[in-house]
Structure 1
Amino acid sequence: MEAIADFVIKIVDLVEAEFSELKGKAINTVVGIGLILLAVVMAMVGFVMGIYGIYLTLCIFMPPFLAAFANAALAFIIGGGLLQWAKRKLS
């Protein structure tokens, strides 16, 4: 009977130790995912502000509607290039 009790206690201790280690890894994973999402948002804001800066610069040299079209074309070219790069990385 004592051997069974020792066995159960050892199993419970093992499960507790594994759970605490898993809990720490889960928290680190959640923090890492949160930081990645924040970095993606910041990169998108930087990209949009850069495109807006190009638009403002082009407005000096051409009418605003032409600057908007040129800016949109540039954004599509950059976006398409990034998609092609991602496609190559994933294949």
Structure 2
Amino acid sequence: METIADVILKFLDLFDAQFADIRSKLFKILIAVGLLVVALVLAITAFVMFIYGCFLGLGLLMPPFLAAFAVALVAIILGGGLVLCAKKKIA
């Protein structure tokens, strides 16, 4: 009976050691994911401001509705190109 208790205690000690290792790695992964989310939000904000800046710049040369159309057309073309590129990478 004592050997079974020893085996169970050793197993629990091993499990605790492995869990501590996993917990520290999980914490690092969560920090990395959090930083990636912040970076993604900043990148999207920068992209939106870039598009808005293009719109304002073209608004000086042409009517605002044409500037919005031109900027949207370029964004759609770039988005479609990225989708096609991703589709080729997946296939």
TM-score (norm 1): 0.88
CA distance in 2, matches of 1:30, 1:56: 39
Number of positions where the alignment pairs a residue of Structure 1 with one of Structure 2: 91
Match in the other structure for 1:55: 55
Amino acid at match of 1:33: V
User: More displaced, 15-24 or 79-88?
Assistant: 79-88
Q: Please list the CA deviations of residues 30-56 of structure 1 after superposition, one character each: whole Å capped at 9, or x if unmatched.
A: 222222222221111111111111111
Runs of 4+ in 1 over 4 A off after TM superposition: none
Larger relative contact order (Cα-Cα within 8 Å, sequence gap ≥ 6):
1
CA distance in 2, matches of 1:88, 1:38: 28
Amino acid at match of 1:23: R
TM-score (norm 2): 0.88
Q: Please list the CA deviations of residues 6-64 of structure 1 after superposition, one character each: whole Å capped at 9, or x if unmatched.
A: 22221111010011111112112222222222222111111111111111110111111
Q: Percent identity?
A: 47
Q: Which ranges of structure 1 fall in alignment gaps of 5 or more residues?
A: none
Q: Which ranges of structure 2 fall in alignment gaps of 5 or more residues?
A: none
CA distance in 2, matches of 1:89, 1:36: 22
- Equivalent runs, 1:4-23 vs 2, <5 Å: 4-23=4-23
CA distance in 1, matches of 2:88, 2:41: 23
Match in the other structure for 1:75: 75
Shift of 1:73: 0.5
